[in-house]
């Protein structure tokens, strides 16, 4: 019997189950390892060294973050959502304003971010961040031009 | 009685092509929209924020955990000693951009210390990561 005389082998329908298994595994893998963009970015350009303002109309505005995370400006306590309005007032005080965020021991990072964001959103460019013990020396000198940190 | 014609023969397998199409589309979606998550040395709950600026292409990530420890690659150190570690690392490696993943409940003083130290060793840009507020 020749090859041509042999009955044709009918091609079997390919089972897709294994491929689907693999594809589902891939899907689960990508779902698990992916992170979606909920992370945001706050950028700070660091100045080279301390600087003094040459602007005559200059104001150094201290904002205190207390140990209990309350935020004090000019002796008054403000909630985080009212900070933006207060920052506007601070900005209008002088042609050049440096905001000095003074952090007491025990204050948390979240409060610091609230203050920075409120300042940024009102267009305050010069932001200095100091620990209380470092800030005391600066604030006790009335003529100090402030330390720009932003 | 209405005649619907002869009954179509049942397939041996369920028709799976549309399902595979959808699954491939989902895979493509996850590939495009997602970013690979790197293994993090510490679980950090980022502070909530509203401002989002453009992220630079390359930056070394430093973690400040809620426990007050600072994590840099495989190095872990107590926050008060962290400035020394950061100084020696960045002076050696010569990076110019650093991103800080600081826990929202970490001490703000530690974060300021870290930033001050980075400024002193001529890090040009510091990035603080926050999370979109709920």
- pLDDT < 70 positions in chain A: 1-4, 8-13, 36-37, 48-57, 141-150
Residue A103's beta-bridge partner residues? A65, A131
Tokens standing for residue B100: 């800080």
**Is the model's pLDDT at B83 over the cut of 80?**
no
* pLDDT attached to residue A149: 44
CATH match of A58-139 with 3.30.70? no
CA–CA separation, A56 and B19 (whole Å) = 71
- Of all residues in chain B, the percent with pLDDT exceeding 70 is 91
Q: Does B130 sit within 8 Å of A39, measured CB to CB?
A: yes
pLDDT in tens, B89-111: 888 887 788 889 999 999 999 99
CATH (one of 3.30.930.10, 3.30.360.10, 3.30.420.270, 2.40.110.10) for B48-132: 3.30.420.270
Q: Does A42 sit within 8 Å of B129, measured CB to CB?
A: yes
To the nearest whole Å, the CA of B13 is away from the closest chain A CA by 8
Closest CA to B50 of A80, A144, A55: A80
Higher per-residue confidence, B44 vs A7: B44
For residue A104, give the chain B residue with the closest CA.
B109
Contacts for B35 with CB less than 8 Å, ≥ 6 apart = A34, A35, A37
**Is the model's pLDDT at B131 over the cut of 70?**
yes
Q: Does B37 sit within 8 Å of A34, measured CB to CB?
A: yes
To the nearest whole Å, the CA of A141 is away from the closest chain B CA by 21
- What are the domain boundaries of chain B? 48-132
DSSP string, A48-117: SS------SSEEEEEEEE-TTS-EEETTEEE-GGGHHHHHHHHHTTSSEEEEEEEE-TT-BHHHHHHHHH
Q: Does A19 sit within 8 Å of B27, measured CB to CB?
A: no
Higher per-residue confidence, B15 vs B13: B15
Closest CA to A131 of A98, A99, A111, A107: A107
Number of A–B residue contacts, CB under 8 Å:
151
Tokens standing for residue B127: 């990035």
CA–CA separation, A63 and A77 (whole Å) = 10
- Note whether B79 contacts A: Cβ–Cβ < 8 A: no
CA–CA separation, B48 and A40 (whole Å) = 9
């Amino acid at each position: 019997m020749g090859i041509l005389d042999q009955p044709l082998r009918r091609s079997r329908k390919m089972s897709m189950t294994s491929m689907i298994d693999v594809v589902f595994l891939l899907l689960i893998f990508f779902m698990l390892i992916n992170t979606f963009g909920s992370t945001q970015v706050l950028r700070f350009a660091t100045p080279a060294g301390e600087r003094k303002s040459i602007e005559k109309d200059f104001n150094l505005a201290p904002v205190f973050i207390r140990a209990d995370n309350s935020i004090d400006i000019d002796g008054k306590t403000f909630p985080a959502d009212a900070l933006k309005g207060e920052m506007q007032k601070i900005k209008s005080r002088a042609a050049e304003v440096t905001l000095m965020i003074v952090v007491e021991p025990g204050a948390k990072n979240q409060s610091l971010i609230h203050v920075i964001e409120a300042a940024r959103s009102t267009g305050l460019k010069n932001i200095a961040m100091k620990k209380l013990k470092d800030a005391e020396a600066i604030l006790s000198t009335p003529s100090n031009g402030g330390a720009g940190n932003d | 009685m209405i005649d619907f014609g002869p009954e179509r023969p049942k397939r041996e397998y369920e028709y799976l092509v549309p399902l595979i199409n959808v699954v491939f589309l989902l895979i493509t979606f996850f590939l495009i929209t997602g970013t690979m998550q790197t293994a993090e040395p510490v679980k950090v709950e980022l502070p909530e924020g509203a401002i989002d600026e453009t992220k630079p292409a390359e930056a070394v990530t430093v973690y400040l955990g809620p426990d007050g420890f600072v994590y840099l690659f495989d190095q872990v150190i107590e926050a008060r000693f962290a400035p020394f570690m950061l100084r020696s690392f960045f002076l050696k490696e010569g990076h110019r951009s650093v991103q800080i993943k600081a826990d929202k409940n970490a001490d703000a003083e530690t974060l300021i210390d870290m930033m001050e130290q980075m400024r002193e060793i001529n890090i040009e840009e510091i990035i603080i990561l926050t999370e979109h507020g709920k």
